[in-house]
Structure 1
Amino acid sequence: MSNRILFVDDEPNVLQSIRRSLRKQFDVDTAEGGEEALQKLTANGSYAVIVSDMRMPGMNGVELLSQAKVDSPDTVRMMLTGNADQQTAVDAVNHGDIFRFLNKPCQPDELANAINSGIRQHELITAEKELLQNTLRGSIKALADVLSLSNPEIFGRMTRFKTRIQHTAEEMGLADVWKYESVAMLSQIGCVAVPEDLVRRRIGGHKLANDELAEYAAHAAIGADLVKTIPRMEYVAQGIRYQEKNYDGSGFPKDRVKGDDIPVAARLLKVVLDFDGLESAGTPPDIAIERMKSAAGVYDPAILEAFDRSMRADLALAAVSVNIMQLTDNMILAEDVKSSNGTLLIAKGQETTLSARRHLQNYKDKGLIGSSVIVHETTA
């Protein structure tokens, strides 16, 4: 049920009183202490608002709400306490990111007004999340799809990057995976301003001269500058900007950022890009991974290990031949699709979206490709 409210206090009488006074207005749940509250947050799904007492045995209110921020970040957090000293308020705001601080005794009308404000705040948070995760992500996917079909050799890789980053992020247990997917799907957009021959040589695994490498790396800054103009996409832009940055701080851009100060999205993308380059040059996956592990200072070790685990799982997936007319959205091409004259139509790793399926059907109807393609089926 939506807009559930969780009250936390170590005194059962207080919780009973709150339930009686608010049950007609709100869907009220209660927990007698921090541990029980965290269990309910995990087991029962998201609450719109959590209201916690400050002084409780074992886990105090600040500690609880700080952990609740991690476990259920969309839940609006409030503090209700009879001991409102200044330090308590400071700790509550700084560590628990408290939306509202209420003093005991709190009149039912005042408490109800605060909860209604918290519910409205929760609705704003979830509405923005919906916009970012679905509307904006759908727009990014559509753009990537168009670019992939217009130039599959250069832009067809972006869907492949997205899938690999998604699996690696999930392997690491990272939150908001859509952010990393968005970085991957927009990562090559700056290549429109780089000579096509240079891009082809780079993605084909050819060694570039230092001046050519710098010219190619400029695509990251160009792409970041394009994306940063989109509201709420600042993090995505930074991930794009630092995709050519090595973990030890070398690479591009030439600044002092290194190690964990490099955006996680960029560290993920660096691993995926370099693996893809080695694979495109004909290096077997297991040898490519070992070569990357031997490159000291280039990759985040934790990300490279997670990528290795996720890739091994992906390689274990069976590839099957599917008639073009039977393709669905939950399939990923396991091999490049080329026309009878050798022209690359769709790169391996690309999802069989509606536009991709129509593209293939058009070429099949003209007799320029066969009637089936090789795909991996996914659960996405």
Structure 2
Amino acid sequence: MEKNTDLAVVADPDKEVQTGFERLFGTHMRIVCFSETESALKFLKQNNGAAVIFSSFNLPGRGGTAFLRAAETVAPQAARVMLTRETSAEAIKKTLNEGHAFLYLEKPCRPADLASAMETALAHHIQLAKDRALLERTLAGSIKLLIDMLALFHPEAFRRTSTVRKQALRLAKRLGMKKTWELEMSVMLSPLGEALLPKQIIARYRTARSLSEQERTILDKSPVQTRDLLKNIPQLEKVSEYLYLSGRGFDGSGFPKDGPTGKEIPMIARILKLLTDLWYASPESGPDAAAFEALTINKRKYDPMLLELAKDTFLDNVPEERKKLIAECYIRSLRPGDVLIDDALTETGHELVLSRGHMLTPTTIRRLEHFNQAAGVRQPIRVERHLAPEEVLSDTA
């Protein structure tokens, strides 16, 4: 077996079993052992990269079957294996049907059989990871299409997604987050609840104008509507919960009133809270010292570590390799990937066509063309254009 960094969790109160796993596999992979269910589940929640989970049938705590079922929720890509001396058909049926175990091994288990089981389980884990990656790419593409379509009808609500997504990825890198799919999906879908609300309520809320009791009730239900729309979509259950809690302040303020506080709030929800408020506090050119000063007034609403990290990240000088060109373009010269610096408005009625911060796609460029043919669009349009390395060289030659 080649040396790798796969993680296997062994939940079995038998110290000889734990020692056996460490002796057989400890030089090739990371083995972490537990004697009961709750400490094992806590570890899995904090370390979601487990490849294989072994459990004894009579495991102290909630039992082996219930443990494997709970482990499936927190570590869905891990192959689950039951180790037991129980040989009854009922025990096997319970393990496979209720615990969703991939393999069932009888104790005592010969080292060769255990090694074969580990190899088979690792192959199953790799296949699960590939299937999930394919599903995530497919779902991400579908959501991107959905967001593009919604942005055509609700440009005001979705204007921030492009900017906030870039900021979220920069923070994730600083935080050492290896998997950012749920964070990106949360950012892209974060305006969904706002898009479902009457525009006049959003306008009054964003300009700090007073709301009637009925309007406040409608506004407060927005996160609930978002969660209810997404929670039944496979792979988006956690995203729906992050969005539900994204208005919750670190100090316990905000929605929901009886929600978690401090670090009990999921990290992604805390990031969304900070970056959404930062976007509204920032000028068109991006976050500045004044924007962070505005957030500092209510700093108890934000994770202090995230607030300082964001300030350090976004107020830092832009590296030389990330040079950008500010271009004034007519519609025929726009490119996918260009980011609008100003709102795109109709020529006469000044109707909002696309909001500032919107990253252009072939679909949105066609929208501008259609509006220009029908009512005229104010041109030239200022965009931020990221240069390829060869463009930077030719521009400075």
TM-score by length of 1: 0.70
What does 1:231-250 align with in structure 2 at a 5 Å threshold? 231-250=234-253
- 2:147 maps to 144
Residues in 1 aligned to 2:281 and 2:262: alpha-carbon distance in whole angstroms: 23
Compute the displacement of 1:179 (Å).
0.9
Matched, 1:29 2:2: yes
Q: After TM superposition, give the deviation of residue 139 of structure 1 in Å.
A: 1.3
Q: 1:369 aligns with which of 375, 378, 391?
A: 378
Q: Secondary structure at the match of 1:61?
A: strand
- Counterpart-to-counterpart distance in 2, 1:375 and 1:60: 46
Shift in CA distance, 304/276, structure 1 to aligned 2, threshold 3 Å:
same
AA matched with 1:123: Q
Report the Cα distance in structure 1 between the residues aligned to 2:127 and 2:286, rounded to whole angstroms.
49
Select the residue among 319, 329, 333 that pairs with 2:340: 333
- 1:180 alignment partner in structure 2: 183
Structure 1 residue 268: Cα displacement: 1.1
Q: In structure 1, which of residues 106, 121, 126 is the aligned counterpart of residue 125 of structure 2?
A: 121
Q: Distance in 1 between matches of 2:146 and 2:317?
A: 26
2: distance between equivalents of 1:72 and 1:336?
Answer: 43
SS at match of 2:384: strand
Matches within 5 A, 1:206-355: 206-209=208-211, 211=213, 212-279=215-282, 285-313=288-316, 318-321=324-327, 323=329, 324-341=331-348, 342-355=350-363
Shift of 1:61: 3.3
CA distance in 2, matches of 1:221, 1:186: 14
CA spacing shift, 1:286–1:196, aligned 2, 3 Å: same
> How far did residue 281 of structure 1 move?
10
Report how far residue 236 of structure 1 moved: 0.7
Q: For residues 371 and 257 of structure 2, what CA distance do their matches in structure 1 show? A: 45
Contact 2:338–2:359 (Cα < 8 Å) also in 1 = yes
Cα distance in 2 for partners of 1:369, 1:76 equals 55
Change (3 A) 1:372 1:250: closer
Check 1:98–1:151 CA distance in 2 against 1; reply closer, same or farther (3 A cut). closer
Q: Which runs of no fewer than 5 residues in structure 2 stay unpaired?
A: 11-19, 34-39, 84-104, 389-397
Q: Which one-letter code corresponds to 2:133 in the other structure?
A: K
Alignment-derived partner of residue 51 in structure 2? 76
Mapped contact 1:337–1:344 kept (Cα < 8 A): yes
Q: Decide whether the 8 Å contact of 1:160 with 1:348 is kept in 2.
A: no
Distance 2:333 2:297 in 1: 43
**Which AA in structure 2 matches 1:302?**
M
1:54 aligned residue: 22
Question: Is 2:160 the counterpart of 1:154?
Answer: no
Q: Output the amino acid matched with 1:369.
A: R
Distance in 2 between residues matched to 1:164 and 1:174, nearest whole Å = 14
Q: Give the TM-score normalised by the residue count of structure 2.
A: 0.67
In 2, distance between residues paired with 1:351 and 1:254?
Answer: 35
Instruction: For residues 2-38 of structure 1, give each alpha carbon's deviation from its aligned partner in whole angstroms, at most 9, with x where no partner exists.
Output: xxxxxxxxxxxxxxxxxxxxxxxxxx424xxxxxxxx
Distance in 2 (alpha carbons) for counterparts of 1:283 and 1:320: 14
Kindly state the Cα deviation for residue 325 of structure 1 after the two structures are TM-superposed: 4.0
Q: 198, 201, 204: which one pairs with 1:201?
A: 204
How far the C-alpha of 1:228 sits from its partner, in A, is 0.8
Contact 1:333 1:350 in 2 (8 A): yes
Give SS of 1:107's match: helix
Does the 8 Å CA contact 2:324/2:387 hold for their aligned counterparts? no
1:54-96: CA deviation from partner (whole Å, max 9, x where unpaired): 0469x97327xx9x989996673478xxxxxx99xx9xx99x9
- Per-residue CA shift, 1:238-287, capped at 9, x if unaligned? 11111221111111111041111112222111112212222369997321
After superposition, the CA RMSD in angstroms is: 4.2
- Name which of structure 1's ranges 326-335 and 187-196 shifts more when overlaid on structure 2: 326-335
| Contact 1:363–1:369 (Cα < 8 Å) also in 2 | no
In structure 2, relative to structure 1, the CA distance for the partners of 1:345 and 1:298 (3 Å cut) is same
2 CA distance for matches of 1:50 and 1:261? 25
Encode CA deviations 1:157-202: one digit per residue, 9 max, x unaligned.
Answer: 3333333323322232223212112112212212344221011232
Q: How many residues align?
A: 325
Q: Which residue of 2 aligns with 1:11?
A: none
Change (3 A) 1:250 1:214: farther
Give me the whole-angstrom Cα distance separating, in 1, the residues matched to 2:119 and 2:197. Answer: 53
Distance 1:238 1:135, change over 3 A: same
C-alpha separation in 1, matches of 2:335 and 2:47? 34
For residue 344 of structure 1, report the CA deviation from its aligned partner. Answer: 1.8
Letter of the structure 1 residue corresponding to residue 359 of structure 2: E
- Equivalent-residue separation in structure 2 for 1:70 and 1:165 (angstroms): 22
Is contact 2:79–2:125 with CA below 8 Å preserved after alignment? Answer: no
Partners of 2:317 and 2:271 in 1: CA distance:
17
Gaps of 5+ in 1: 1-27, 31-39, 42-46, 80-85
1:151 deviates by 2.1
Kindly tell me: are residues 207 and 71 of structure 1, through their superposed partners in 2, closer, same or farther at Cα, counting changes over 3 Å? closer
